[in-house]
Structures are given as structure tokens and as C-alpha cells.
Amino acid sequence: MIAIIDYDAGNIRSVEKAFTFLSEEPVITRDPELLLRAEKVVLPGVGNFGDAMGNLQRYELVDVIHEIIDQGTPFLGICVGLQLLFESSEESPGVPGLGILKGRIRRIPEGEGLKIPHMGWNSISIREGGRLLKGLGSEPYVYFVHSYYLDAADKSVVSARTWYGTEIDAAVEKGNLFACQFHPEKSSAVGLKILSNFVRLEGA
């Protein structure tokens, strides 16, 4: 069973539809027992970092997420779901993230010809050896919607990068933990391949 964490974040239904297209039967839930029993867990999200963390705390999901990851369940963060895994965000000063991985979320710098939020297709440069982005070919295009980006402290966990006014850590991978700033559920065939890779992963 694939469980999608329900914490009132945007884009949950699009993620559900993408997995359903892959002949999976995802469950949208905030039930701790169901989340801890799931074979795979997804933390999607579109929205404000501080609001998202507040919702995770309100629904008492912070410790649950830590436990899911600690027990080796494959876990996928998408967009804000990636950002929440890190320590802090310039979007919400003073609000700590989950702190599962080290790094900060920074605002995309202003630049000539750059529109913020960054909305659209960008190619990503993939590091070899990763499991989530396996088989995507050379610099595939994926769909982004964001004003803030990851600056990971430990670059060894970064599985893909892109450039939009600055170098952006676009995806990370560490053990059973995976996350991407872009939206695989909106990234056409490439995105479906990524989600298919996630479905086929085995836990620790």
C-alpha cells in the first residue's frame, strides 16, 4: 500500500491520480497506524513552509514521519514535501523544519529575465547511481513550481541539480529517503517513470 500523507497541503489529489494511473491504489490518510503499516509513504505539498510545518504539528505527524523513515519504509517528499525534510526555510524565519536532512531552503534570487515563482519545465542533471531517477536518460525535463530552493549542507545526498538564476539542488536521495523539488506527477512520461521507480523500491 502507498500512503499519501494528508495534512491539508495542495496537490495531494494530483499525486493520487498519478499513482492510480500506474495501477496502484494509494490511500490518503493522516492515521498514524495506517502510515506506519504502509509499504511506501509520500509527503506531497504546494504552499507555505511555515503553514505546512504547522499542519504537520497540528495533526501530530512529525514524530510519525521520523518513525516511518527510521523503520526503513521508502519515503518520497515532493516540492514543499522536500523542503520540510530540511532544517529551515527563508520563507518562514524561526520555523524549524523536520531536520531529517541538513540544509536550508533559500529564496530564488532575483535576476534579469527570471520570473519568480519559477513555473515551468527545466532540465535536471542527474548524478549516477541513484535509484529514484534511474533510467531517465540524459538531462530530462521536469516541471517546477517554486519560489524557494534547497541548498543542501551535505552535497553527497543530492541526486539531481538544475539551474534557475542559481544552482538548485533539485532532488535528494539517502537510504530509503527520496525527495524532489519538481513535480513528478506533473512531469508527463518522465514523471511517471520516477513514480514507477518509487513503486518498485524495496524497504530497508
Interval 97-106: pLDDT, tens: 999 999 999 9
For 93, residues 6+ apart whose C-beta sits below 8 A from its C-beta are none
State the Cα–Cα distance between residues 182 and 122, nearest whole angstrom: 9
State the Cα–Cα distance between residues 193 and 188, nearest whole angstrom: 9
Question: What is the pLDDT, as a whole number, of residue 113?
Answer: 83
State the Cα–Cα distance between residues 61 and 181, nearest whole angstrom: 21
In a domain, 147, yes or no: yes
- The confidence band for 145, taking pLDDT boundaries of 50, 70 and 90, is very high
Q: Which of 176, 180, 178 is nearest to 162 (CA)?
A: 180
Q: What's the number of domains the chain is made of?
A: 1
Domain of 80, CATH number, reads 3.40.50.880
Question: What is the pLDDT, as a whole number, of residue 161?
Answer: 97
In a domain, 181, yes or no: yes
Domain of 180?
2-199
pLDDT tens readout for residues 45-92: 888 999 999 999 999 999 999 999 999 999 999 999 999 999 999 999
- The confidence band for 138, taking pLDDT boundaries of 50, 70 and 90, is confident
Q: Does pLDDT of 204 surpass 60?
A: no
Q: Note the pTM of the prediction, 2 decimals.
A: 0.96
Question: What is the pLDDT, as a whole number, of residue 203?
Answer: 61
In a domain, 204, yes or no: no
For 124, residues 6+ apart whose C-beta sits below 8 A from its C-beta are 133, 139, 140, 141, 142, 160, 161, 162, 170, 171, 182
In a domain, 64, yes or no: yes
pLDDT tens readout for residues 149-197: 999 999 999 999 999 999 999 999 999 999 999 999 999 999 999 999 9
State the Cα–Cα distance between residues 46 and 143, nearest whole angstrom: 13
Amino acid, res. 93: P
SS3 assignment, position 22: coil
State the Cα–Cα distance between residues 12 and 127, nearest whole angstrom: 28
Question: What is the pLDDT, as a whole number, of residue 11?
Answer: 84
For 67, residues 6+ apart whose C-beta sits below 8 A from its C-beta are 36
In a domain, 62, yes or no: yes
List active site positions: 79, 183, 185
113 or 25, which is more confident: 25
In a domain, 153, yes or no: yes
Peptide bond preceding 109 in cis form (omega within 30 of 0): no
State the Cα–Cα distance between residues 11 and 130, nearest whole angstrom: 25
